Each structure stands twice: as structure tokens, then as C-alpha cells.
Structure 1
């Protein structure tokens, strides 16, 4: 059975996703919010801070006494951190969150880049099956604003070059960090409707080529595009991983491969936007975001 959520713990509040989730939780005004942190640091007014040892289940469990929900937005290749949070949370029956592509699609969690998420998902499902806790996952696709600003979306506004995943035509979900934060906080207002399942959200369904067309229309001038066969790039990344020749690209390519592959990334069959208070973006809103990021890159 679900229960009303009042006391909420957030882990990873200083990260890109966690900061947006924290802002959204504090905006709702209905939650008592506690941030778990590895060391003392400033957070927005309204959040309580608990410094904890993330390597200790006992320390984490003590910090969760009296809490109704735990949101995990930690980001680390270390799979043990989320597993310890899950074990600690299970002792008090709480909710846990993860972010990314659809965990129910065959093949998504088979890629090593999602190994941490796969282990976490299997752990929470096991805890739920044993009636020790409940969970919700946030399936949001790629982070639209972050991908544009970091170059992960393949668009270089300064050099006017585009690195295209496959043919660039696969349409898939993109969600801004702000929308992810809002949806995550609002899920806690609907504990029964979101019980033990992924919640599917998006800001927009769009292909990389559609984003590229918007970028070209905004910036003008000549762009150079490179279209990449993602299969050999994936195999090279997996080979590098197995040989220990690991770099950021080893993991980036795996995600970009997913975004180029319809079987692994496509518009959700189930849409939870209305439930969590999100509105789908129109092309003009996407264009405004691309313009904003292009302006930042020009400075």
C-alpha cells in the first residue's frame, strides 16, 4: 500500500539533476526536505542537511529514520552507493528514483553504461517483491538542455559542426533538467498512481536532425555534418572497455548508440506528463532554448 509522503530525503542534491529536484521539492511547500551530503556545504534555504558516510549502510539507515521517501540522484560509476541506499531505505519502506531511458525495453540495460542502473532496478524490484519497500523510476530520455550545452547532442555552435548519431532521424524523448526535477517532486504527490513502476515523461519527442535544423536556422552560415555508423563505434567502445582502455567516450558512445536506435529509444507508449504536471514543448519553445544556449556559446 502507498502512503502519504511528507518527509523526503534527497541524495545527490549538488548534481545537475539533484539541484533541480531539490528546487522543485522546496517549491511545492508540502514536504520536509533533508539533503544527504558527504561533507558540509551550502544548500538552498528550507532544506535540512545531514552529513553521512555513503559507504556505511548503518550510517545511511540512521539518517533515514522517520523519513517517507528517498530520492537518489547520485551519479557515480560505483554501483555500491545506490545499492547501499536501497538497502538502507528498505528498512523504512520508501520510494527510490532513477533517471534515463526505458528500463523495460529489452537491450537498454544490457549495455555496460547502464550497469549501475540495471543493478539498482533489479535491487528495488526484489525489495518490492518482498514487500520491504516501494519504488518509482523516472524515464525521461536524454537531458535536452544539458545535452545541448555540453555538446552531448552532437552540435558545436562555435565551430558550426554536427556529429550525427547514425542518420540522425530517430525520434526519441528529450527532457530538460527543470522538467525532470518538477516531475520527480510531483510524483510524490501521486504515490498510488506511480507505485512500483517507471513514470514516463518528456519535454519533447524529436530527432537529432530536427535539433540540427533548428540550430542551423538560428545561427545561419554553413555547418559541416558528419554522419556516423554507430555500430562499429559501439563495438570499439565495448572493446576498449573490456581491454581497460577507458575514456569518457567509452560510455558516451553507448548512450548515443541508444539514441540512434529506434528499438532502444523512441516515443513512450505510455505518457505520464499529465499526471506529473508537465506540458509538451512546441517547436518555438525548443527553438528559444537552442537560441539561449547558442548565445551562451558565442560569448
Structure 2
């Protein structure tokens, strides 16, 4: 019988994902403690504990009495999530949700990508603790962030300059989830602890190819005047990995790895098992996607 979860600690609550998870937790009336490096303002309904993320002792003390911990931190280093997992196990936390929020962690090749090294280390750590009955875990696989990818240009589409950088042939269909939907699904994991026990959960707002998103964009912004390029992603991946190995670190080095996965059916495709309805999500139709594009393009 799964334990009822009421007290929840969250790390990274000021970030893109964390802020949405925090909002969803509060709407579901969890007792929420924000773990923060400093006393920055958070919603009044959340309790804030200032912790030293470099100290397992500081984290363990902050996690006393917590039923669940959600890691939404996104820094590149691996030590913080591992320290948080160890502290949770030491403090008797029941459920740990790792900072995954990406592609299917069970697919061969995903966690072999250097960009996902942090996610891989966290997954191995929670599995090891679960095997020793120290805690239980859940990972949230959501594909790519739909709204963030459109607004940041990560989707390959530049609305202002009307440029489209297509990954491969653009036809690979993959899961896309908005940040708000990621927050809702993550909070609802804790409402369904038995069904989400010791496994990844798989959610989406929409299953779309890059070409389908581009077609929707042209319907919103017009089809004339676009500068479109179709790009073989393998040489770009090889160059990115070479740069990484040579210590030439940039955002694009990491972005290309993920974009390569999104173009590759073996690494990214619609979920065989989907937990969206269990976790409170409804699939978006094309009109809702176009409305999102309209909103982002005219900000």
C-alpha cells in the first residue's frame, strides 16, 4: 500500500519547470517547502528553507518530515542532484522525483548522450536507493517543452526573422509538453503514488513533427518569405561532441545533442504507454497549438 503524500519539498522552484511545479503543488493543497540557496520571495503559501546545496547535512536537516522531494534544478553539474537524493534517502523521504523532464530514459542511446549525463546519474542513484528500500522514485518524461522551445528558438523556428532550421527531414513525430502541463503532471504524480511507483511516467500535450509545427506556424504567420534549411543532424552532432571533448563548451553544443535526438525515430517517438490522462492532462488539438504560436509570436 502506497503512502499518502502530504509534505513535499521542491528544489529549483524559481526555474522554468520548478515555478510551474510549485504552482501546481499549491493548487493541490500540498504542504510545500521550497529549498532555496537564498531567501528570495516565493508564493506565501509555500514555506521557504534556505539550505546549503553543497552540504548533505544541511539538506538532510531540511528534509526531515518530508514525504516527497521534487528536483527541478537544471545546472550542468552532477553533484547537487546526487547529494539531494542521498539526503532524501537518509531522511526517510518516501518519493523522489528526479530532474529528468525529457526523452524516454529507458531507450538505449538517450542517457548515453553527454547532455543527459546528469539525468542518467540521478536515475541510477534513485534506482539503487529503491533497490535497498531507502526510497521510491518517479521520473517524468515529457519530450521537449513546447512553449519554451517555440519562444526560445530551440524548436528551430524564428518567428521574427521567418527562419526555419529543420532537423533532418522534419517528419519525425515526438512528444511536446508545455511547462504548465509538465507542472500539473508532476504534482499529480504525488496524488497517484501507487500507479507511478518506481518508474518513468510518460506525458505529452501533443505529438507533433517539426514540419507539423512549421505548417501550423505558416497558417498563423503566413507562408511567404520563409528562409528554410533542412539539416543533416549527424555531422552537427559529431561537431558538437568534438567541441565538448575539446572543452569548447557552449549552449549550442548541448542543444544540438537534443535536436539530433528529436530528429531520430529510434531516440524520440510517441510514447508506447502514455500517462497523460492519469496525471491530469488533455491532449491539445491543432487550434490550441496555433493559438500558442500566435501568442508567442506577438509578444
Q: Per the alignment, in what secondary structure is the counterpart of residue 135 of structure 1?
A: strand
- Report what 2:262 is aligned to: 259
- Report what 2:84 is aligned to: 85
- Report what 1:40 is aligned to: 39
- Report what 1:109 is aligned to: 111
Unmatched segments (≥5 aa) in structure 1 = none
- Cα deviation for residue 134 of structure 1 reads 0.3
User: How many Å separate the matches in 1 of 2:115 and 2:284?
Assistant: 29
User: How many Å separate the matches in 2 of 1:184 and 1:109?
Assistant: 21
User: How many Å separate the matches in 2 of 1:266 and 1:228?
Assistant: 19
User: How many Å separate the matches in 2 of 1:15 and 1:45?
Assistant: 17
Unmatched segments (≥5 aa) in structure 2 = none
User: How many Å separate the matches in 2 of 1:203 and 1:162?
Assistant: 22
Alignment of 1:129-278 (within 5 A): 129-220=131-222, 221-278=224-281
- Cα deviation for residue 93 of structure 1 reads 3.1
- CA deviation string 1:26-53 (max 9, x = no partner): 1112x10000000010001200000000
- Cα deviation for residue 2 of structure 1 reads 2.4
User: How many Å separate the matches in 2 of 1:194 and 1:165?
Assistant: 33
TM-score, scaled to structure 2: 0.98
- Cα deviation for residue 94 of structure 1 reads 2.7
Which of 263, 287, 292 is matched with 1:289 structurally? 292
Q: Which runs of 4+ in 1 moved over 3 A?
A: none
Q: Per the alignment, in what secondary structure is the counterpart of residue 96 of structure 1?
A: strand
- Report what 1:26 is aligned to: 26
User: How many Å separate the matches in 1 of 2:21 and 2:257?
Assistant: 26
- Report what 1:68 is aligned to: 67
Contact 2:96 2:135 in 1 (8 A): no
- Cα deviation for residue 187 of structure 1 reads 0.8
User: How many Å separate the matches in 2 of 1:20 and 1:199?
Assistant: 18
User: How many Å separate the matches in 1 of 2:82 and 2:209?
Assistant: 34
Contact 2:65 2:93 in 1 (8 A): no
- Cα deviation for residue 96 of structure 1 reads 2.0
- CA deviation string 1:66-87 (max 9, x = no partner): 0000000001011000000000
User: How many Å separate the matches in 1 of 2:170 and 2:15?
Assistant: 29
User: How many Å separate the matches in 2 of 1:290 and 1:96?
Assistant: 34
User: How many Å separate the matches in 2 of 1:191 and 1:136?
Assistant: 9
Q: Per the alignment, in what secondary structure is the counterpart of residue 96 of structure 2?
A: coil
- CA deviation string 1:150-174 (max 9, x = no partner): 0000110111010111111000000
Contact 2:202 2:271 in 1 (8 A): yes
TM-score, scaled to structure 1: 0.98
